[in-house]
Every structure is written in C-alpha cells, then in structure tokens.
Amino acid sequence: MTLVLFENSFVTLEEAEAYFDERFDSDAWTNPDSKPDDAVKEKLLITASKKINSFDFVGSPLEVGQKMSFPRDYELPQDIKDAVCEEAYSLLTQESSVHKKNQEANISSISLGAGSVSYNSSYSFAEDSMLVSKTALYLVKKWIKKGFFID
C-alpha cells in the first residue's frame, strides 16, 4: 500500500524522515545498519495514522465523507504529525516487548527466582490504551473532544 496524505496518513515519509533526523535516540528509524526500508516505514506511518484517526477531534471535517479526520476547519496541528511519528516509532521498537504484552494481558507482576517485575495496575480510560506511545497519546489528547454536548 502506498502512503497518501489525508487518505491513509497524516504524515508523508519525507516529513517523518525530517522529524527523526532531529529526534534524539531514533536509531531504529535512521541507522543505516538497522533501519527499515521505505515500504515498512510507510506501513508504520499508515498504521499509526489510522490509530490516531480513531480519536474524536475538536472541530469539524472540511468535507462530508472524507477518508480521515483531517483536514478539519483548522490546520493539521504539528502535535498530530509528531504523534504519528512517535506512534510509528513505538510500533517499530516495542512490537515484541514482553513487558508490553504482559501489561496487555493484565499481568500485574512476574517473579523469576530472586528477581521480579511489577506493572502499574492503576485504572485508565480506554483512550489511554489506544496508542503504544505515551508521548503520542499526550500530543493527541490536546486535540480531542472532552465532555459531550447537551441540547
């Protein structure tokens, strides 16, 4: 699948490359020895965009029936673009994290011999678990609707 701005992604591959050129600790994306090829990067950006697209953003879409939440009646915020990049990076680097899988399985702690790991089991809203990246979630939350309309 080819990445197409506002049809399946909020960020172009070029924008993502520029973002990661300036981001500290982005070796998994930029290191020539280990970085994914462009097709994989596009899939990561598309997946991250689709996940972020599921939030209920403030404002209104520019056109009825458009494929994604943006464009809206305001310019696409840099926060949303950055969130897509952060989520794509987290998908790339944490995909096989055993700790992430344990948390998703609602495991609160594991002990092996003298060592143990405990996971935060505090209550969270459903939207808090929609994204892998906490940074992406923080950036997106600034732009989503809070509360509801009463007529």
Q: Consecutive sets of 10 residues in the chain, 151 residues long: mean pLDDT of each?
A: 93 97 92 86 97 94 93 95 97 72 69 76 61 93 83 69
Select from 78, 107, 90, 15 the least CA-distant residue to 48: 90
Q: Does some domain include residue 20?
A: yes
Is residue 138 one of the residues assigned to a domain? Answer: yes
Which residues make Cβ contacts (< 8 Å) with residue 26, sequence separation at least 6? 20, 89
For residue 127, the model assigns a pLDDT of 65
Q: Is 101 inside any structural domain? A: no
> Could you give the dihedral angle defined by the CA atoms of residues 103, 81, 17 and 5, in that order, rounded to the nearest 10 degrees?
110
Q: Buried b / exposed e across 32-50, counting CB within 10 Å, b at 16+? A: eeebeeeeebbebbbbbbe
Domain that holds residue 40: 1-94+125-151
Task: With respect to residue 106, please indicate whether it lies within any of the assigned structural domains.
Answer: no
Whole-model pTM: value is: 0.80
In a domain? residue 2? yes
Does residue 34 sit within a domain? yes
d(CA 111, CA 105): 16
> Are the CB atoms for 82 and 18 separated by under 8 Å?
no
| 59 domain-assigned | yes
Give the number of domains in the chain. 1
